[in-house]
Amino acid sequence: MPTRIRLQRKGKKGKPYYHLVVADQRAPRDGKYIERIGAYDPNRNPALVEVDRDRAMDWLQKGAQPSDTARAILSYSGVVYKNHLQNGVKKGAFDQEEADRRFDTWLNDKKTKIEAKRENLEVSAATAFKERLALETKKSHDRADALTAKLAASIPAAAESEAAPEAGTEPTPEATAEAAPEATPEASEPTASAEGDTAEKE
């Protein structure tokens, strides 16, 4: 039976993730499979890759052929390199200890690169957030300064417009008449009686 190591699509529309499965080559992509040996999630950064190396190695040794994408995932996880080392042990190029030492060295280097990439992504995200926050703060301060300057310019103009009519107005005749004291009838009557008394005496 021809077997393939390939991806089986899962997830929702626009957010797919995949199972790494061993299936019959004639089976549908998302149909029945023989064994699930890993998972792949491209929605993360770096992408999540989980592979059961022992089971994948066993199927490669049995002759299962990976698809192009599955081969890239197996290479990323080190299964292809480990299979190459095992073939070298079978041919007598080196012993099992040397193969294990080489694979451990490669695996440690791979983990270091992945951690460095993850740290760089975190630093870049933090730097971008700080820059965006500083830009928004600057815009907010500029907007507040412009509003303060506008208010400061409008207050003296309003004071001048209120003071101008008061300085330019002239007193009206009605206002002058109201301001002048009026002669009362009581004050005029004694004067008339006094003139009458003087005429009688003469």
Residue 183 lies in a domain: no
At residue 157, the pLDDT reads 66
Average pLDDT over residues 4-30: 90
Mean pLDDT of the chain: 81
Residue 40 lies in a domain: yes
Query: Is residue 115 one of the residues assigned to a domain?
Result: no
**pLDDT (0 to 100) of residue 154:** 80
Mind listing the pLDDT tens digit for each residue in 150-195?
888 887 766 666 665 554 555 555 544 554 555 444 544 555 444 4
Q: What is the mean pLDDT of residues 66-79?
A: 93
Residue 39 forms part of a structural domain? yes
Position 2 scores a pLDDT of 82
- The CATH number for 76's domain is 3.30.1320.10
The answer to whether residue 198 scores a pLDDT higher than 70 is: no
Residue 182 belongs to a domain: no
Band of the pLDDT at 8, cuts 50, 70, 90?
Answer: very high
In a domain, 196, yes or no: no
- Stronger pLDDT, 164 or 124, i.e. the higher one: 124
Q: Which residue segment(s) compose the domain that 46 sits in?
A: 3-93
Residues 97-117: pLDDT tens digits?
999 999 999 999 988 988 888
Q: What is the pTM of this model?
A: 0.60
70, part of any domain: yes
In tens, the pLDDT along 47-56 reads 889 999 999 9
Number of domains in the chain: 1
In a domain, 108, yes or no: no
* Higher pLDDT among residues 25 and 190, named by residue: 25
Spell out the SS3 assignment of the chain: CCEEEEEEEEEECCEEEEEEEEEECCCCCCCCCCEEEEEEECCCCCCEEEECHHHHHHHHHHCCEECHHHHHHHHHHCHHHHHHHHHHHHHCCCCHHHHHHHHHHHHHHHHHHHHHHHHHHHHHHHHHHHHHHHHHHHHHHHHHHHHHHHHHHHHHHHHHHHHHHHHHCCCCHHHHHHHCCCCCHHHHHHHHHHHHHHHHHC
